[in-house]
A and B are shown apart, each in its own frame.
Chain A
Amino acid sequence: MYRLDAQNVKKTFGPRIVLRDVSLSLGIGDSLAVTGPNGSGKTTLLRILAGLTLPSRGTVDFFHEDRKLGRSEMRRLVSYIGPELALYDSLTAAENLRFFAVLRGITLDRGLIGKIMEMVGLGGREDDFYHAYSSGMKQRLKYAVALLNDPVFLLLDEPTANLDKDGKIVVSGIISRQKERGVLIVATNEKEEYGFAEKRYRLDG
């Protein structure tokens, strides 16, 4: 039904070539781990797939039953989490969630917010400010925001960064669910995270 198609993606930053001729094709049920040493372009590739960065050459397209999707439609289906991403420091967790939910076309009441927070193991902490969260808690909240739209394509850069044992369990649950119902792409250096995905795409430095 849904497909992600990347063709000959190339990315250069000035004279430096970071990605050279990357092509992928993924559909529902596929999971991919993008691996490689530091600086090999894992984060860049994921950001290009998520639509955050433009490739220097090549194309990235999303399809629904052979119809190419526009940016708006694609945005509804894709979620991305990465270490460089941040939520709003001056807002509480609940305010952050409610804000992103509205942008996604969803209205959240206190009850729903409570349930979402429980799911990521942050129950009861919804009225704390984001800036007061530890890095592990911030990571969990990022998952809560990323899952608001029940994404078909979930792109995770360093999925278990900053997480304790319980956090990693939460993420495993999220990932299993995603693999059944959608597409999962993970960028990682950690060997224990390789197992999240069935296929592997190696990037050289």
Chain B
Amino acid sequence: MPKNGTGLTGKSFAVLRKDLLCEFRTRYAVNAIVLFGITTLTVVSFSVGQQSLAPEVYSAIFWIIIFFSAMSGLAHVFIREEETKTAMVLRLTADPTPVYLGKLGYNVLLLALLEAIIAPLFFILTDARLESPALFIVVLILGMIGLAGATTLIAAIISKAGVKGALFAVLSFPILLPLLIGLINATSKAFATGEVYFSAASSELQLLVSYGVIMITASLLLFEYVWEG
């Protein structure tokens, strides 16, 4: 913990800790996102079973599961504030940047949990093979940062909309598409052959890293316009 507990880092951690504490006590978003992931994975396993599919197909299926699970749970961090009317006092008290960073951190952790549960189960319930674990883990990490980085701002936007419905997925998908393309390609390389290390996936990795950096930076700049008023 930082010594100056009330600087930007301290405030961001406070927001993160508050959200984790609330989530731990209610378990709403975690349940939604993990159950959705497991359900979808079960459906996939049931229909595809032990058939042998191409690595690209497994890769696509994996990220489809992660994407839709993310859509079912990542907006919660802002929607809950609006629905329980706590957003008001938060807006009065806090500057936008620590709020964004705290909630970004929360979404990253939520995705980490999701991936940590779904990834091992994926290899158990399907015939997918993992030839390059190191590459896969790197992609998982970049994936969670990229997904959270792009969608946290959008979650803030839709929390202010009247009718939410599928709006979160509709707004997120076009922005996430380049990320998903990179993730699916890189992952299919990780599934495919063992000799393939990071060099073969270098263009994808560059895409993933730059995506995360750009999305988070832009979100930081734009967030205050969503937050105020």
Contacts and interface: CB of A to CB of B under 8 A. Distances in A.
A–B proximity contact (CB within 8 A): yes
A80 to B, nearest CB: 6
Contacts, number: 74
Most chain-B CB neighbours within 10 Å: which of A86, A106, A107?
A86
Nearest to A72: B95
A142 B88 CA distance: 12
Contact of B6 (A89, A95, A107): A107
A90 B26 contact: yes
Interface string B80-111: 00001110111111110010000000000000
B93 A52 contact: no
B85 A103 contact: no
Interface string A108-148: 00000000000000000000000000000000001001000
A160 interface: no
Given A53-B229, A54-B229, A107-B6, A100 B89 contact: yes
Nearest to A104: B93
Given A88-B22, A91-B21, A51 B92 contact: yes
Nearest to B6: A105
B164 interface: no
Interface residues of B, number: 26
A78 B228 CA distance: 15
A178 interface: no
B5 A102 contact: yes
Contacts of A87: 86, 89
Given A86-B86, A90-B26, A100 B21 contact: no
A103 B93 contact: yes
B103 to A, nearest CB: 13
Interface string B52-87: 000000000000000000000000000000001110
Contacts of A80: 92
Contacts of B15: 103
B207 interface: no
Nearest to B81: A88
A99 B18 contact: yes
A72 B22 CA distance: 26
Contacts of A105: 6, 11
A79 B26 CA distance: 29
A162 to B, nearest CB: 15
A52 B84 CA distance: 16
A95 B92 contact: no
Interface residues of A, number: 31
Grouping DSSP codes into helix (H, G, I), strand (E, B) and loop, the A interface class, with mixed when no group exceeds half, is loop
A37 B90 CA distance: 29
Given A53-B229, A85-B89, A107-B6, A90 B95 contact: no
A183 B90 CA distance: 22
Contacts of A79: 92
Contacts of A84: 85, 88
A9 interface: no
A90 B25 contact: yes
A45 interface: no
B14 A103 contact: yes
A145 B86 CA distance: 13
A71 interface: yes
A71 B21 contact: no
Interface of B: 5-6, 10-11, 14-15, 18, 21-22, 25-26, 84-86, 88-95, 98, 224, 228-229
Interface of A: 50-54, 71-72, 75, 78-80, 82, 84-91, 95, 99-100, 102-107, 142, 145
Given A84-B85, A104-B93, A142-B89, 9 more contacts: A51-B228, A75-B95, A86-B84, A86-B88, A86-B89, A95-B21, A102-B5, A103-B11, A106-B6
9 contacts: A51-B229, A71-B224, A78-B92, A85-B85, A86-B88, A87-B89, A88-B18, A103-B90, A105-B11
Minimum-distance CB pairs A-B, first 6: A54-B229, A86-B85, A102-B14, A103-B94, A90-B25, A105-B6
